[in-house]
Amino acid sequence: MGTALLVLRFILMWVLFSDCVYCRRPALVNVGVLFGHDSVIGRTAKVAMEAAVADINADPRILNGTRLNLIMKDTSCNVFLGSVEAFRVLEKEVVAIIGPQSSGVAHLISMIANGVQVPLVSFVATDPTLSALQFPFFVRTTQSDSYQMAAMADLIDYYGWREVIAIFVDDDYGRNGISTLDDELAKKMTKIYKLALPTGASVSRITELLSNSKFIGPRVYVVHVNPDSGLTVLSLAQELEMMTSGYVWLATDWLSTTLDSLPLINQTSLRNFQGVVGLRQHTPPSLQKKAFVSRWRDLHQKGLVSYGLNTYGLYAYDTVWAVAQSIDGYLNEYQNITFSFNKNLHGNKATKLQLENIKTFDGGTLLLRKLLQMNFSGLTGSVRFDSDRNLIGGGYDIINIAQIAIHTIGYWSNYSGLSVVTPETLNRKPHSSSHLDQKLNSVTWPGKKAEKPRGWVIADIERPLRIGVPYRASFVEFATEKHGTKDFEGFCIDVFFAARKLVAYDIPFMFMPFGDGQSNPNYDELVRMVATGVLDAAVGDIAIVTNRTKIADFTQPYAATGLVIVAPINNRKSSAWVFLKPFTVEMWCVTATFFVLIGVVIWILEHRINDDFRGPPRRQLITVFLFSFSTLFKTNQEDTISALGRMVMVVWLFLLMVITSSYTASLTSILTIQQLSSPITGLDSLITSRWPIGYQVGSFAPSYLTDNFNIPQSRLVSLGSPEEYEEALRLGPGNGGVAAIIDELPYVELFLSKQTDFGIVGQMFTKNGWGFAFQRDSPLAVDMSTAILELSENGELQKIHDKWFCKMGCGIERRPQSDTNQLHLSSFWALYLLSGVVTLGALLVFLVRMVRQFVRYKRKQRDLSSVSSESANTHCSQVIYNFFDFIDEKEEAIKKMLKQRDNPAPQES
């Protein structure tokens, strides 16, 4: 009996306990919602969240009978009102807060959420900095601007623009979003100009900002503002004629949000925004989404809503579901929701807010954990969170407003980049295709242009390009101002004009002289003025050196240059072969050839009649080679007998007389010319000599010498003109002059073209070039570089060089003084021609005579042989052999033989 009572009591207690536990599951769960009710996003989000609550409470599979209740408060996107409303919803014992809409409000409420340890879930706040560890209770159920700005940077890079202007609202949302875009563009070597608009900027302020932006240069605008004020910016740009051909307008997802929210697409508005390219958060197609869109359409037809459905409305719907499912998971595990007084608020004596009476949810951390574990398919696609408490992004649609409609021209995702294929399709393909084939469909740009705009305007008629030109006092052949005019001329100026013609667009510009024309200007200061924006560019003989490239951009070099040393030339160098210097190699070769030629011809002419040219073959060969050489020294013992030989000798001796006298004079000049003593042989000897060194005023040479070789400034002497160069070099280091001058090669070549006593010693010890200077990241520098390369390839650059520096001959190489005393073949070619003609003429006359004699001889021989048995037919080779035998015979013997055959002896009877 006692045991039965104990069992009955146990059963009763278990039933009561179970019933008590079951009763702990609340009938109602409150969730606070903070957003701007009267806003583009807020109006849509409110209806979407109400629809989500209705669906949740009607679904028995979730919350198991517990009703979800949303407590909505209007923050008006104001930080102060947002904080007040946050405490008011906390008074209602909420387990989580959805919102806020503004990123600025989200920063403050995230701090409150941290204090009360309540999850703060936002479907609108896209500020990337909200993902910081500073806000552990902030969860983002929309895509962060870190994704959006990566998409925008890829879009800009895809079209090749290297400078953009960002117009943004100056709050946390605008500043931090554009800062992220700046970081992304920096990776792609693209520059961004930031123009901030104050919150609630007036029309006049926006107009002023847009007008001033025209003078920056880029024509690619990225607009990152709130949906409620964005169309005003574009409308004012339209009024200012800034949405015409040549401009590019890119908008973040505020534009698609605004346009999608319009009740009926206003065709007039779209016509004003033709050519704008924007982003829209990508939501993949699904049956759920299709059903909800149809449901929204029904609400619109019934007059329950008067605006369209944007993507933030879809994210708001999914956010409520995510919070509801996390609460359901929490209740399934812990069965209870309890609240307690927050010790951080206890003791606060606030009068109306009654902060000490606020009870906060005890399971906020556990609910946050459940929320971050969510993984379900909603209207926007897969709802999952990464380690930074951000919704894992699904990508963006790239839209283009054209032909009074919104067209999708492609997609972007962080794993595939830009593509005409949807992200979910690419996600099913192998990952190897990522970022390899970036592609978008054709775009209609402002002005109804299909061709991609250049994206920048370096100058216009109202503000032409300000180009600084050095107003030189010396070496004016390179660049200087025409006296009495505002025009400039010179080699560098002609190169600029020629390159400008090859650039595909017009460049309004004006030359601005830099310097007073009395002395050469400082080129480092000229480049510095370009870098600081005082000038837009600099054209002239500007050397491309390290310290200048650090502050400005330069074109491709149009002239090769480098530092060289100019010094008096020292010709007195002992050499065993100095006797060869009076003649050039060509002169020696031709002269030697004529010596041999004259010897051979004289031998031929004299061999038949002169016993001095006869004898054994060895003697004759020696005679041939020594005869003409012996005439040079008048030691020849062989005399010429024939008239032809004497004629050849007369011309040859005249030629020898001219050559020998010229050789003697040249050799005497080489051996006895007055020398300017200078032991400088190169850079090393110049540095160690400790003698003064000259340099051109305005050159980079002094800083280069002091920085790289530690040459003291006291050794450096500034010189302003070629005349000062000559005077300082002639005076020398001992008489107030300099031992050498260090200057760039083009100046030195021009100086030496008019001087004969100086030359380049050693090797060029720097290698650089001249280029035109532009401000950092100026796209004109790239286009001008391309034009200069084209000038070099088609030969036009060389023609410009020849025009200025080859009026009296080009390619002058600075040789030692002895080189200028060498005798060239060009000075004697007429004498050699005369001697050659006479010699060959005499040889030809001799051969004609010999042929005639040989024919006569052979005819007589044939008459005599007619009675003999010898054949009259002979081979050609035999004839030639006989001819040479005939020539080899002495003249007297031949004549005697012919005479005997003309008068044969009488025959005996």
pLDDT digits (tens, 9 = 90+) for 439-462: 899 999 998 889 999 888 877 777
- Superfamily of the domain at 28-142+291-383: Response regulator (3.40.50.2300)
The pair of three-digit structure tokens given for residue 897, joined into one six-digit string: 């033989």
CA 156 to chain centre: 17
- Tokens 């390369």 correspond to 789
Question: What are the pLDDT digits (tens) for 368-402?
Answer: 999 999 999 999 999 999 999 999 878 999 999 99
Q: Where are the domains of the chain?
A: 28-142+291-383, 145-284+394-425, 465-560+770-806, 578-672, 683-766
The pair of three-digit structure tokens given for residue 461, joined into one six-digit string: 């008629």
CA 820 to chain centre: 46
User: pLDDT band at residue 906, thresholds of 50, 70 and 90?
Assistant: low
Fold: same for 28-142+291-383 and 145-284+394-425: yes
> If you average pLDDT over every residue of the chain, what do you get?
83
Residue 568, class by beta-carbon neighbours within 10 Å (0-12 exposed, 13-18 middle, 19+ buried)?
Answer: buried
433, 477 contact by CB (below 8 A): no
Question: What are the pLDDT digits (tens) for 683-731?
Answer: 888 888 888 999 998 888 888 899 888 889 889 999 988 899 889 988 8
Residues of the chain with pLDDT > 90: what percent? Answer: 38
User: pLDDT band at residue 572, thresholds of 50, 70 and 90?
Assistant: low
Phi and psi at residue 516, to the nearest 5°? -105, -5
Residue 360 DSSP SS3: strand
pLDDT > 60? residue 675: no
Angle at 508 between CA 503 and CA 512, to 5 degrees: 115
Residue 233 DSSP SS3: helix
Helices and strands counted in the chain (H then E): 30, 31
pLDDT > 90? residue 26: no
Residue 208: CB partners within 8 Å, gap ≥ 6? none
pLDDT of residue 861: 66
> Averaged over 195-208, what is the pLDDT?
92
pLDDT of residue 242: 92
pLDDT of residue 811: 43
> Averaged over 213-224, what is the pLDDT?
91
Question: What are the pLDDT digits (tens) for 821-847?
Answer: 677 777 888 888 888 888 888 888 888
- Tokens 């005890």 correspond to 362
Question: What are the pLDDT digits (tens) for 480-490?
Answer: 887 767 788 88
Tally of residues, the chain? 909
Question: CA-to-CA distance for 156 and 149, rounded, in angstroms?
Answer: 10
- Half-sphere exposure of 445 toward its Cβ, with a 13 Å CA cutoff? 18
pLDDT of residue 869: 40
pLDDT > 80? residue 885: no
pLDDT of residue 674: 42
pLDDT > 50? residue 71: yes
User: pLDDT band at residue 251, thresholds of 50, 70 and 90?
Assistant: very high
pLDDT of residue 7: 47
Residues of the chain with pLDDT > 70: what percent? Answer: 82
Q: Exposure string (b/e) for 732-751, b if CB count within 10 Å is 16 or more?
A: bbeeebbbbbbbbbbbbbbb
pLDDT of residue 3: 57
Question: CA-to-CA distance for 97 and 90, rounded, in angstroms?
Answer: 9
- Greater pLDDT, 346 or 317: 317
Tell the CATH topology of 145-284+394-425.
Rossmann fold (3.40.50)
User: pLDDT band at residue 265, thresholds of 50, 70 and 90?
Assistant: low
Question: CA-to-CA distance for 509 and 463, rounded, in angstroms?
Answer: 8
pLDDT of residue 871: 46
Min mean pLDDT across 528-542, 567-581, 775-789, 790-804 is at 567-581
pLDDT of residue 429: 64
734, 678 contact by CB (below 8 A): no
Domain with residues 465-560+770-806, CATH architecture: 3-Layer(aba) Sandwich (3.40)
Question: What are the pLDDT digits (tens) for 226-240?
Answer: 998 889 999 999 999
CATH code of the domain made up of 683-766? 3.40.190
User: pLDDT band at residue 639, thresholds of 50, 70 and 90?
Assistant: low
The pair of three-digit structure tokens given for residue 132, joined into one six-digit string: 């910081």
pLDDT > 90? residue 54: yes
pLDDT of residue 872: 44
The pair of three-digit structure tokens given for residue 445, joined into one six-digit string: 């740009």
> Averaged over 603-609, what is the pLDDT?
73
Phi and psi at residue 67, to the nearest 5°? -90, 140
Beta bridge pairs of residue 488: 481
700, 545 contact by CB (below 8 A): yes
Question: CA-to-CA distance for 772 and 785, rounded, in angstroms?
Answer: 9
User: pLDDT band at residue 365, thresholds of 50, 70 and 90?
Assistant: very high
CB atoms < 10 A from the CB of 722, how many? Answer: 17
Q: Exposure string (b/e) for 643-666, b if CB count within 10 Å is 16 or more?
A: ebbebbbebbeebbeebeebbeeb
Question: What are the pLDDT digits (tens) for 131-163?
Answer: 888 999 999 999 999 999 999 999 999 998 989
pLDDT > 70? residue 736: yes
The interaxial angle of helices 103-116 and 79-90, nearest 10 deg, is: 30
Using H for helix, E for strand and C for coil, what is the string for 799-840?
Answer: HHHHHHHCCCCCCCCCCCHHHHCCECHHHCHHHHHHHHHHHH
The continuous run of DSSP H or E covering 269 comes out as: helix 267-272
User: pLDDT band at residue 761, thresholds of 50, 70 and 90?
Assistant: confident
Beta bridge pairs of residue 377: 382
- Greater pLDDT, 344 or 882: 882
- Half-sphere exposure of 908 toward its Cβ, with a 13 Å CA cutoff? 0
Question: CA-to-CA distance for 678 and 428, rounded, in angstroms?
Answer: 80
Name the most confidently modeled range: 527-536, 579-588, 850-859, 884-893.
527-536
> Averaged over 611-626, what is the pLDDT?
69
Query: What DSSP assignment string belongs to 427-456?
Result: HTS-GGGTTTS-------BTTTB-SPP--B
Q: Exposure string (b/e) for 845-868, b if CB count within 10 Å is 16 or more?
A: ebeeebeebbeebeeeeeeeeeee
Residue 877 is which amino acid? S
Question: What are the pLDDT digits (tens) for 492-537?
Answer: 999 999 999 998 888 889 999 998 888 888 999 999 999 998 999 9
706, 712 contact by CB (below 8 A): yes
